[in-house]
């Protein structure tokens, strides 16, 4: 299968503007280096031809921008969605966060995105250029010249544990539809579950104490599209700006995870953007794993309109006491 | 100038920590960060720490005062503790420069005694760079990474660490370290300085110029249509401001613990929707305005009020950490680009 | 009622994978059983006797060899008790106990030949080596 | 800032025995907002209430805290007291220092300390209270009954009897429902038609009752007291007002091969038909699926013979919109399909029938004119086997049967067996049962009569297999008492099929936002205390749509539902509970989480234009709560991630203030 | 909370108005004793309990939090406690995942007729929490000054 590349997307994006399908395009824009790519709204074919880019460093999930972007004027917004982004897209639709009619979605197949920090760890400082051919990554550095790394060695952690390469929503698909993957994404959650209580506490105390409350996790999260977040609302009894006590770090992350429980599609953006490298996705995954164990498998965003587990129930649901025990021991 | 062998660096650490708490950059699984030195903690080889040394002088949260009510009376309690002396080891030139910028904010009227106390009690050992990263652009702001400054400047070679005191405080501490260091010649590090100078010219951002910014440029950039485009996908998080060594905005808040009210300050971010929110609402309502504020402050407003000094030091942290890879370099290039001529 | 032989009872229930407590004594299993006439204990009795731990008579009954494993009872049972599985479980526990009459593991190597499928050995071991 | 008065009750020694009430009153004096604090022996007494009233006036109190017994005892009392003194009744908070303090603790010091903390929590809450006013809404004094079986008819008659207009909507061309198909009724063996038809006639003739037969409810909007319902009157191609019900057309219609659903397909009717002689309304209906005229435009016999000129081939479905104050669901039941029970050979042999078919076979108005003849060869059966629990009490049969007991089968099977033996003593009757359940007045006696007096063979056991062989049905069954497998050559087998809610119930429940259980039976508001109300205010349940029921129970429930409706319609205005949810539109995401957890369907959405913080204008979907429907459970407040949804009287900040006060 | 050197855990009990609060009243009517440190907050339904309230209680110094509601199937609002059950199952499992002692949180169904159960539950829960000692893992040091 041919890997989706910049040229193909540029052509598509330009075509969508030219033929009037959309009047603006959400995509990715070239950065200063080869890896610092910014999500951007493109308004003209010129701009697309000049600045649009797609490659191994286009990890950003564009679906959340649709909430804001569809509110601007009447025209349609074209958006490029990787498989994991399509789940977020569906979840946003389920929650009626934007008007489907105002969006032209192009699904693009994805084999996993690269993580620049992994590249830097291997290739060292001073990366002048980085490019990949789908198998190898060629890195040129200031100090050590050119190096070739296997792409598979620098694939982002979240993509290694990819749950699905299937585009679940699109008006048009580029590349193959992809398949749902039997991933090992819960391994780390299981590992923590099998730790002792003290170890678990130690692990999270250490991780969460790094939090600087920059809100990047929240602001990037496609499930966190609240008009006003409780943590920003002085009337919510929960507002705070900085973790002045270790309690507040926990409070913020527990409540945030709880608010997206059953709605989180496990896109992994939270961990990707955390400047302190806190594995925040593990909190969300714990909820996903518990939901799967307690109430049957549920993938948020797999279908538009599906009923999230927290706004649903059955008469025979597991009791909380039992659930806690099960949540600890179900490491299968 | 003094020096010690790298093997003996630990004895230097030991010596310093006899009289004060010492923080050195140490490796964690997520990169380097300043860590309290205790025996065995190794100094990181990394170019720079994730978080800047700003935290030592201007911590993310800090209690200012406490109120207690008894019946209908209020008691005000100064909860400040006796500050202890401390040293921060291995601060890079860019971060050293950030203290100049912060000092101009906190040490002019109204004088910030909380910050000042920490400055008085802290000694900074700076460390010259030898391998700047592609994201470094300190040169843009006239910083020489080979001459890092602060109380004590340091240069690290393959086998030795060189120390040069720049201030009285620095001289004092180097004196204390005489027993564990040897005298050295300033020319011993000339080679390294020169080499660093060469590398600086080759950095991809070496051509980035701040010339088009600075004092009096408000009207030139304020209404630029580029802001909207640049900020279009900004998610409004505070990452850039919190990793920035020069961002100095804070909010003062009260926490009612039930037993009393603690008034504390905490970092704030101009990227947040409730930044400078007042009774009438927010003065900057859109993300575009907030985004513009941050960069205009770094590049225009601050220089306006501080003799042309920029409040960016080119450390590159925001380049590495921004979730959407938007940063001051892109802003400078876009605004200062040909289109804007 | 006395729960005699409860370990054997639990063992049989475990092997069968069914829950005899679900039985509501409708008798549809016995009504449906084509081998009923040859049985000394009818399918519904199996369910009840196993649940009560009254298993000895079943171990010695001829019913366990009369059951055709046609699964009619299993198919028809309205409560998913699935008597056939219980009968099979009793049968198995008898067979497993007959170790003395059957092959000993030591004897097996001599009997092996190339055509004997691996699985047969494994299942023979599992079945007879108790 | 509130001006709060605190009133600590001694309750004689009930509180004062373990709590130092004076110390409590003294300690609470210094709490924020408190301007007055006192104690008294019995706050609920007239004198105690006067202390409160005077203090409200004297100290210009804006809120009061009464530290006393449980709010379940005297919250209402003190609210009225406050109201009498000009204070909003919802500015009263009760601190429960009796049941939850003095009565459960023994140590005076600790008890006092706890009472003070509980008082502080109440003060913290009342500081954040706001005056609340219950919402009012008018009541449309008309009821809708959905379903025209005995349940619906009885409900309608009872409501009409109280003087309120009622409409019955029935999908069939006539009311009457299942009861009209029955022959006799247990345990008294009254003829069903004899007791039902007078009621049908009453309903048809009542000036308060309108019957929309051959009609369906197609849309329901609104809420208790104010439902807007659209009723679809299906085209029956006969003008109801002109048709005299003479039946001439039904005799002349040349299309004779239409399976007669009233007789469960055991005989045929014409394409134009009146289901049965006593139908109400007695109006003919053309079955468009079979009418040659409607299908091919050639025929028109009925039109020609109709002297009243009632036939109208051009009739269209008609939609009627009407307002109602209350809705009663009486959609009834159906026997489940026997298609999946291969072992009983229902589809292989005509002589294996369901009990309802048996009713028709023994009914004088049925296909055999009441003679018990078996369907295959119209011969009199000499051996009849009845099988109970076919599809009932079935744990594995999600697809096949039902997990519940269908409740009525034991009794009607006893009835069938008894009547058969009575009319045809030469018949051998066997009944296979798992259990015989007869909890009802004169029920067990009835069953025993079948056994003892009529010699019905009751066999504990189940039929495993029925095989048609020649002209007999080979029945293989178990006899658990004798531990035998028995074989019977039967002439006729009657299956007591489980019953299930009518298929129309599920979509109707969605329209009404009324909840259902997994079996599609409507859920009652409370299984014990509110058995005829649905959790959705203004929607009531009558008959088997709520669960399997026999006729007496159905009629009783129908009357109960009617009385609830009458109680509702008798009011001119409905006063709501003011402690309801409300949504802050500025924060609402329109995500529907709240709507999904609301058990009452109280939340609706609309698109509204908002000026966004960044000065742009956006159209956003936002929730609003219908205060007349909301019952104030608060489920939505937690489902809402942004905190836009809050509950009046139990607001987030109020509960948090209580937590803070307690944990201080 | 330390009283005379003895650790008395502070327990916050959220009780639904219709069943559990009435159950607590019944415990009172029958004079069934339980520790003073149990403090009840009335909510209309257990589904009104926001996870934030629970965390807030721990922040402010509670050592244990228990949520009491009608038995499943008996909710006054028909389905409220079903949601409570799901929410608390997930929340408590998460707290446990974070290493916060699972014995500090509990959901118990107490009907209006179960005064004895209410008292017994509170006694037992208090004892279980007392055995753990003070809540250190979800504390806010500022509230302990």
Q: Determine the Cα–Cα distance for residues B232 and D108; give it in Å rounded to an integer.
A: 66
Both tokens assigned to D526: 């409370």
CATH level 3 topology of E7-135: Rossmann fold (3.40.50)
The total domain count for chain B is 2
**Sequential DSSP letters for B171-212:** HHHHHHTGGG-EE--GGGGHHHHHHHHHHHHHSTTTT---TT
Average pLDDT over residues A78-103: 95
CB-CB under 8 Å, D621 with A226 = no
Of 3.20.20.80, 3.40.50.960, 3.20.19.10, 2.40.160.210, the CATH number of D4-126 is 3.40.50.960
Is the confidence at residue A327, as pLDDT, over 90?
no
Whether cis (ω within 30° of 0) applies to the bond prior to D281 is: yes
Residues 6+ apart with CB under 8 A from D310: D238, D239, D240, D242, D243, D244, D283, D284
- Taking contacts as CB-CB distances below 8 angstroms, the residues of chain E near B255 are 142
Is the confidence at residue C1, as pLDDT, over 50?
no
pLDDT at E15: 97
* Weakest-pLDDT range from B30-34, B113-117, B310-314, D489-493: B30-34
Q: In the CATH scheme, what is the code of domain D581-648? A: 3.30.70.3270
Average pLDDT over residues A294-314: 93
pLDDT at A274: 94
Q: In the CATH scheme, what is the code of domain C6-100? A: 1.10.1060.10
CB-CB under 8 Å, A225 with D589 = yes
Neighbours of chain E (3+ CB pairs under 8 A): A, B, D
pLDDT at D199: 96
| Residue ranges in chain B assigned as alpha helix (H) | 9-19, 54-57, 93-106, 113-121, 168-176, 190-202, 218-221, 226-231, 239-243, 287-296, 302-305, 317-321, 328-335
One domain, residues B151 and B32? yes
Of 2.40.420.20, 3.20.20.210, 3.50.50.60, 3.40.50.1220, the CATH number of D145-226+317-331+510-572 is 3.50.50.60
A311 touches chain E (CB under 8 A): yes
Average pLDDT over residues E92-100: 95
Neighbours of chain B (3+ CB pairs under 8 A): A, D, E
Distances (CA, A) of D421 to A266, D181, D366, D435: 69, 21, 19, 21
pLDDT at B102: 95
* Weakest-pLDDT range from A176-180, B287-291, D475-479, E29-33: A176-180
A197 touches chain E (CB under 8 A): yes
Domain spans of chain E, in order of start: 7-135
Domain spans of chain C, in order of start: 6-100
Q: Determine the Cα–Cα distance for residues D520 and E40; give it in Å rounded to an integer.
A: 38
Chains D and E touch (3+ CB pairs under 8 A): yes
Torsion of CA E43, E44, E46, E48, to 10 degrees: -80
User: pLDDT averaged over chain B?
Assistant: 90
Q: Determine the Cα–Cα distance for residues B321 and B328; give it in Å rounded to an integer.
A: 12
Both tokens assigned to D292: 């040659």
Residues 6+ apart with CB under 8 A from B50: A275, A276, B30, B31, B32, B33, B243, B317
Measured between CA atoms, how close is A188 to chain B, in angstroms? 16
Average pLDDT over residues D622-634: 91
A84 touches chain E (CB under 8 A): no
For residue range C51-66, what is the model confidence (pLDDT) as tens digits? 988 999 999 898 888 8
pLDDT at A237: 83
Q: Determine the Cα–Cα distance for residues D638 and A311; give it in Å rounded to an integer.
A: 10
In contact, B59 and B72? CB cutoff 8 Å: no
- Taking contacts as CB-CB distances below 8 angstroms, the residues of chain A near B134 are 33, 125-128, 142
| Interior/surface letters D280-304, b for 16+ CB within 10 angstroms, e for the rest | bbbbbbbbbebbebbeeeebebbbe
Which member of E25, E44, E87 has the closest CB to residue D70? Answer: E25
Distances (CA, A) of B146 to B3, B200, D97: 16, 10, 73
pLDDT at A133: 84
B129 touches chain A (CB under 8 A): no
Domain spans of chain D, in order of start: 4-126, 145-226+317-331+510-572, 235-316, 333-500, 581-648
DSSP3 helix / strand / coil % (chain C, rounded to 5): 60, 0, 40
Phi, psi of B31 (to 5 degrees): 110, -175
Q: Determine the Cα–Cα distance for residues C81 and C32; give it in Å rounded to an integer.
A: 14
Among residues B140, B171, B202, which one ends one of the domains?
B202
Give me the total of CB pairs closer than 8 Å, taking one residue from chain A and one from chain E.
Answer: 127
One domain, residues B26 and B172? yes
pLDDT at E5: 67
Outline where DSSP puts E strands in E1-145.
2-3, 6-7, 11-16, 38-43, 64-69, 105-109
For residue range D248-274, what is the model confidence (pLDDT) as tens digits? 999 999 999 999 999 999 999 999 999
Task: Pick from B72-76, C10-14, C118-122, D158-162 the range whose average pLDDT is largest.
Answer: D158-162
Measured between CA atoms, how close is B326 to chain E, in angstroms? 34
Distances (CA, A) of D124 to D391, D658, D661, E52: 58, 6, 7, 18
Average pLDDT over residues A82-92: 95
Residue B75 resides in a domain: no
Is the confidence at residue C129, as pLDDT, over 80?
no
One domain, residues B179 and B226? no
B321 three-state secondary structure: helix
Residue B330 resides in a domain: yes
Residue bearing the bigger pLDDT, B319 or B341:
B319
pLDDT band at C99 (very low <50, low <70, confident <90, very high): low
pLDDT band at B97 (very low <50, low <70, confident <90, very high): very high
- Taking contacts as CB-CB distances below 8 angstroms, the residues of chain D near E79 are 515, 535, 597, 599, 635
CA angle D567, D570, D576 (to 5 degrees): 75
Q: Report the run of H or E that residue D385 belongs to, with start and end.
A: strand D383-390
Whether cis (ω within 30° of 0) applies to the bond prior to D123 is: no
One domain, residues B36 and B141? yes
Other Cβ atoms less than 10 A from the Cβ of D177: the count is 27
Q: Determine the Cα–Cα distance for residues D423 and C92; give it in Å rounded to an integer.
A: 54
Both tokens assigned to D396: 């594995």
pLDDT band at C130 (very low <50, low <70, confident <90, very high): very low
**Sequential DSSP letters for D26-57:** HHHTTSTTEEEEEEES-TTSHHHHHHHHHHHH
**Which residue, D383, D373, D248, D364, is CA-closest to D307?**
D248
Residue B73 resides in a domain: no
Average pLDDT over residues A57-67: 94
Both tokens assigned to D2: 């509130």
CB-CB under 8 Å, E145 with B259 = yes
Distances (CA, A) of D661 to A245, D5, D71, D114: 20, 17, 19, 11
Torsion-angle region of D332 (φ positive above 0: left; ψ -120 to 50: alpha; else: beta): left
Q: Determine the Cα–Cα distance for residues B148 and B313; give it in Å rounded to an integer.
A: 12
Domain D333-500: homologous superfamily in CATH: FAD/NAD(P)-binding domain (3.50.50.60)
pLDDT at D223: 83
Q: Determine the Cα–Cα distance for residues A41 and A71; give it in Å rounded to an integer.
A: 14
Residues 6+ apart with CB under 8 A from B111: none
- Pairing mode, strands D143-146 and D92-96: unpaired
Average pLDDT over residues C27-53: 92
pLDDT band at E4 (very low <50, low <70, confident <90, very high): low
Q: Determine the Cα–Cα distance for residues A115 and B30; give it in Å rounded to an integer.
A: 14
Which member of D515, D634, D659 has the closest CB to residue E45? Answer: D634
Of 3.40.50, 2.30.30, 1.10.3470, 3.30.70, the CATH number of D235-316 is 3.30.70
Name the closest residue on chain E to residue A245, using Cα atoms. E140
pLDDT at A332: 41
In contact, A174 and A215? CB cutoff 8 Å: no
- Pairing mode, strands D318-324 and D226-233: antiparallel
Average pLDDT over residues A76-103: 95
**Which residue, D231, D200, D197, D202, is CA-closest to D214?**
D231
For residue range B214-271, what is the model confidence (pLDDT) as tens digits? 999 999 999 999 999 999 999 999 999 999 999 999 999 999 888 889 999 999 999 9
Which member of A72, A226, A315 has the closest CB to residue D641? Answer: A226
Q: Determine the Cα–Cα distance for residues E63 and E105; give it in Å rounded to an integer.
A: 9
One domain, residues B256 and B296? yes
The pTM of the whole model exceeds 0.90: no
Share of chain D above pLDDT 70, in %: 100
Q: Determine the Cα–Cα distance for residues A5 and A174; give it in Å rounded to an integer.
A: 10
Average pLDDT over residues D471-480: 95
For residue range A239-259, what is the model confidence (pLDDT) as tens digits? 888 888 888 899 999 999 999
One domain, residues A25 and A127? no
- Pairing mode, strands D92-96 and D63-68: parallel
B64 touches chain E (CB under 8 A): no
pLDDT at C125: 60
Is the confidence at residue E37, as pLDDT, over 50?
yes
pLDDT at B341: 43
User: pLDDT averaged over chain A?
Assistant: 91
One domain, residues A110 and A127? no
Is the confidence at residue C101, as pLDDT, over 60?
no
pLDDT band at B340 (very low <50, low <70, confident <90, very high): very low
In contact, D639 and D594? CB cutoff 8 Å: yes
One domain, residues A235 and A105? no
DSSP3 helix / strand / coil % (chain B, rounded to 5): 35, 25, 40
One domain, residues B300 and B329? yes
One domain, residues A34 and A98? yes
**Positive or negative: CA dihedral B158, B160, B166, B172:** positive
One domain, residues B107 and B163? yes
One domain, residues B190 and B261? no
Residues 6+ apart with CB under 8 A from B68: B74, B75, B77, B259, B260, B261
CB-CB under 8 Å, A275 with B269 = no
Full residue range of the structural domain in which residue B11 is found: 2-59+83-202
One domain, residues A231 and A261? yes
Phi, psi of E98 (to 5 degrees): -85, 5
CA-derived radius of gyration, chain E: 15
Among residues B178, B202, B226, which one ends one of the domains?
B202
Note the ipTM here: 0.84
One domain, residues B88 and B181? yes
Full residue range of the structural domain in which residue A304 is found: 187-329
One domain, residues A88 and A138? no
In contact, D648 and D580? CB cutoff 8 Å: yes
pLDDT at C105: 65
């Amino acid at each position: 299968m041919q890997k989706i590349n910049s040229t193909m997307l540029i052509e598509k994006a330009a075509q969508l503007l030219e033929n009037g399908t959309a009047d603006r395009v959400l995509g990715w824009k070239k950065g200063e280096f080869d890896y610092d790519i910014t999500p951007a709204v493109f308004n003209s074919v010129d701009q697309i031809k000049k600045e649009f880019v797609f490659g191994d460093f286009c990890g950003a999930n564009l679906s959340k921008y649709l909430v804001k972007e569809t509110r601007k004027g009447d025209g349609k917004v074209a958006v490029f969605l990787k498989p994991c982004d399509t789940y977020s897209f569906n979840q946003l639709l389920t929650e009626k966060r934007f008007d489907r009619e105002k969006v032209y979605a192009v699904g693009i197949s994805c084999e996993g995105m690269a993580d620049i920090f992994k590249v830097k760890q291997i290739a060292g400082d001073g990366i002048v250029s980085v490019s990949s051919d789908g198998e190898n990554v060629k890195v040129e550095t200031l100090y050590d010249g050119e190096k070739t790394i296997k792409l598979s060695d620098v694939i982002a952690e979240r993509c290694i544990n990819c749950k699905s390469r299937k585009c679940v929503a699109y008006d048009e698909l580029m590349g193959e539809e992809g398949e749902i993957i039997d991933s090992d994404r819960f391994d780390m959650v299981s590992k923590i579950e099998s730790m002792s209580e003290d170890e678990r506490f130690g692990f999270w105390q250490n991780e969460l104490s790094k939090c600087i409350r920059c809100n990047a996790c929240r602001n990037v999260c496609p499930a966190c599209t609240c008009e006003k977040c409780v943590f920003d609302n002085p009337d919510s009894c929960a507002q705070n700006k900085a973790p002045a006590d270790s309690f507040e770090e926990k409070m913020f992350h527990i409540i945030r995870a709880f608010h997206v429980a059953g709605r989180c599609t496990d896109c992994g953006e939270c961990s990707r953007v955390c400047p302190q490298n806190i594995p925040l996705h593990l909190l969300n995954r714990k909820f996903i794993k518990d939901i799967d164990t307690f109430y049957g498998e549920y993938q948020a965003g797999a279908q538009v309109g599906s009923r999230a587990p927290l706004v649903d129930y059955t008469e025979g649901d597991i009791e909380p006491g039992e659930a806690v025990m099960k949540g600890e021991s179900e490491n299968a | 100038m003094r020096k010690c062998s790298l093997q003996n660096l630990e004895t230097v650490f030991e010596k310093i920590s006899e009289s004060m708490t010492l923080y050195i950059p140490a490796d964690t699984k997520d990169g380097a960060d300043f860590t309290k030195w205790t025996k065995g903690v190794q100094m990181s080889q990394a170019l720079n720490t994730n978080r800047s040394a700003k935290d030592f002088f201007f911590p993310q949260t800090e209690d200012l005062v406490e109120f207690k009510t008894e019946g209908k009376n209020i008691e005000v309690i100064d909860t400040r503790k006796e500050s202890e002396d401390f040293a921060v080891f291995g601060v890079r030139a860019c971060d050293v420069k950030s203290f100049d910028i912060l000092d101009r904010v906190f040490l002019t009227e109204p004088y910030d005694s909380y910050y000042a106390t920490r400055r008085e009690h802290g000694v900074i050992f700076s460390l010259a760079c030898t391998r700047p990263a592609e994201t470094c652009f300190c040169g843009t702001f006239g910083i020489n990474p080979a001459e890092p400054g602060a109380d004590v400047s340091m240069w690290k070679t393959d086998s030795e660490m060189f120390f040069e005191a720049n201030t009285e405080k620095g001289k004092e501490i180097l004196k204390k370290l005489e027993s564990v260091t040897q005298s050295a010649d300033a020319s011993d590090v000339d080679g390294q300085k020169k080499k660093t100078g060469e590398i600086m010219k080759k950095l991809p951002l070496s051509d980035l110029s701040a010339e088009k910014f600075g004092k009096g440029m408000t009207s030139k950039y304020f209404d630029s249509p580029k802001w909207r485009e640049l900020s279009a996908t900004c998610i409004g998080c505070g990452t850039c401001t919190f990793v920035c060594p020069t961002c100095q905005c804070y909010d003062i808040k009260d926490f009612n613990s039930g037993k009393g009210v603690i008034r504390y300050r905490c970092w704030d971010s101009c990227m947040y929707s409730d930044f400078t929110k007042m009774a009438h609402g927010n003065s900057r309502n859109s993300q575009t305005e907030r985004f513009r504020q941050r960069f205009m402050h770094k590049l225009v407003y601050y220089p306006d009020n501080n003799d042309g000094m920029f409040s960016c030091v080119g450390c590159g942290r925001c380049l590495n950490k921004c979730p959407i890879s938007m940063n001051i370099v892109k802003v400078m290039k876009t605004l200062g680009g040909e289109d804007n001529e | 009622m006395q729960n005699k032989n409860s370990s054997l009872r639990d063992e049989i229930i475990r092997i069968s994978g069914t829950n005899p407590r679900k039985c509501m004594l409708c008798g549809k299993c016995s009504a449906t059983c084509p081998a009923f006439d040859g049985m000394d204990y009818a399918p519904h009795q199996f369910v009840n006797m196993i649940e009560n731990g009254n298993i000895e008579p079943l171990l010695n009954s001829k019913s366990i060899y009369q059951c055709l494993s046609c699964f009619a009872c299993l198919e028809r049972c309205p409560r998913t008790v699935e008597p056939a599985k219980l009968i099979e479980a009793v049968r198995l526990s008898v067979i497993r106990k007959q170790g003395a009459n059957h092959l000993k593991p030591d004897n097996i190597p001599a009997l092996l030949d190339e055509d004997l499928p691996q699985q047969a050995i494994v299942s023979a071991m599992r079945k007879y080596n108790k | 800032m509130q001006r709060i008065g605190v009133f600590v009750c001694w309750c004689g020694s009930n509180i004062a025995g373990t709590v130092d009430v004076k110390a409590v009153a003294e300690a609470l004096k210094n709490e924020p907002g408190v301007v007055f604090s006192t104690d008294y022996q019995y706050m609920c007494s007239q004198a105690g209430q006067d202390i409160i009233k005077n203090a409200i006036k004297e100290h210009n109190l804006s809120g009061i805290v009464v530290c006393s017994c449980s709010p379940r005892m005297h919250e209402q009392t003190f609210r009225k007291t406050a109201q009498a003194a000009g204070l909003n009744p919802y500015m009263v908070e009760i601190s429960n220092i009796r049941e939850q303090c003095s009565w459960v603790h023994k140590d005076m010091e600790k008890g006092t300390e706890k009472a003070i903390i509980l008082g502080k929590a109440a003060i913290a809450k009342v500081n954040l209270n706001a005056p609340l006013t219950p919402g009012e809404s008018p009541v449309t004094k008309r009821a809708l009954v959905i379903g025209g079986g005995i349940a619906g008819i009885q409900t309608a008659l009872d409501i009409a009897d109280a003087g309120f207009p009622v409409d019955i909507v029935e999908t069939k061309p006539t009311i009457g429902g299942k009861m009209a198909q029955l022959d006799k009724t247990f345990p008294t063996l009254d003829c069903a038609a004899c007791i039902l038809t007078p009621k049908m006639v009453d309903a048809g003739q009542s000036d308060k009752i309108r019957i929309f037969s051959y009609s369906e409810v197609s849309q329901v909007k609104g809420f208790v007291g104010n439902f807007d319902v659209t009723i679809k009157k299906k085209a029956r191609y006969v003008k109801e007002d002109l048709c005299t019900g003479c039946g001439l057309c039904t005799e002349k219609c040349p299309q004779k091969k239409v399976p007669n659903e009233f007789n469960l397909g055991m005989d045929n009717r014409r394409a134009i038909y009146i289901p049965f002689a006593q139908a109400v309304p007695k109006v003919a209906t053309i079955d468009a699926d079979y009418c040659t005229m409607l299908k091919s435009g050639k025929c028109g016999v009925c039109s020609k013979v109709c002297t009243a000129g009632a036939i109208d081939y051009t009739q269209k479905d008609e939609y009627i919109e009407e307002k109602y104050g209350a809705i009663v669901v009486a959609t009834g039941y159906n026997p489940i399909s026997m298609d999946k029970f291969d072992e009983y050979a229902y589809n292989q042999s005509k002589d294996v029938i369901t009990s309802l078919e048996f009713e028709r076979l023994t009914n004088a108005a049925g296909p055999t004119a009441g003679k018990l003849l078996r369907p295959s060869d119209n011969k009199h059966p000499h051996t009849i086997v009845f099988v109970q629990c076919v599809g009932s009490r079935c744990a594995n049969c999600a697809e096949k049967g039902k997990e519940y007991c269908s409740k009525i089968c034991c009794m009607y099977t006893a009835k069938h067996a008894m009547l058969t033996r009575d009319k045809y003593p030469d018949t051998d009757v066997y009944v296979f049962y798992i259990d015989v359940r007869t909890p009802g007045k004169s029920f067990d006696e009835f069953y025993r009569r079948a056994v003892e007096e009529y010699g019905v063979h009751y066999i504990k056991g189940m039929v495993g297999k029925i095989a048609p062989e020649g002209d007999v049905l080979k029945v293989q069954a178990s006899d658990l008492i004798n531990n035998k497998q028995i074989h019977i050559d039967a002439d006729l087998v009657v299956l007591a099929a489980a019953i299930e809610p009518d298929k129309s119930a599920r979509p109707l429940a969605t329209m009404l936002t009324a909840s259902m259980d997994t079996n599609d039976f409507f859920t009652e508001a409370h299984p014990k205390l509110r058995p005829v109300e649905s959790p959705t205010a203004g929607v009531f349940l009558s008959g088997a749509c709520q669960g399997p029921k026999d006729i007496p129970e159905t009629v009783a429930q129908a009357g109960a539902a009617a009385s609830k409706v009458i109680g509702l319609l008798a009011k001119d205005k409905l006063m709501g509970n003011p402690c309801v949810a409300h949504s802050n539109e500025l924060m609402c995401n329109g995500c529907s989480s709240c709507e999904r957890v609301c058990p009452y369907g109280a939340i609706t959405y609309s698109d509204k234009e908002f000026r966004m913080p960044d000065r742009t204008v956006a159209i956003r979907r936002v929730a609003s709560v219908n205060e007349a429907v909301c019952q104030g459970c608060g489920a939505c407040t937690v489902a809402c991630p942004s905190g836009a949804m809050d509950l009046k009287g139990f607001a987030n900040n109020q509960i948090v203030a209580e937590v803070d006060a307690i944990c201080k | 909370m330390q009283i005379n050197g003895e650790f008395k855990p502070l327990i916050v009990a959220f009780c639904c108005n219709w069943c559990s609060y009435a159950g607590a009243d019944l415990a009172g009517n029958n004079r069934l004793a339980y520790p003073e440190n149990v403090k009840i907050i009335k909510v209309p339904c257990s589904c009104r309990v926001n996870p934030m309230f629970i965390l807030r209680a721990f922040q402010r110094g509670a050592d244990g939090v228990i949520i009491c509601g009608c038995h499943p199937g008996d909710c006054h609002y028909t389905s409220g406690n079903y949601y409570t059950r799901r929410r608390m199952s997930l929340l408590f499992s998460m707290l446990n995942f974070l290493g916060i002692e699972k014995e500090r949180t509990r959901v118990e169904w107490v009907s209006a007729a179960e005064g004895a159960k209410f008292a017994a539950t509170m006694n037992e829960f208090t004892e279980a929490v007392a055995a753990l000692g003070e809540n250190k893992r979800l504390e806010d040091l500022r509230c302990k000054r």
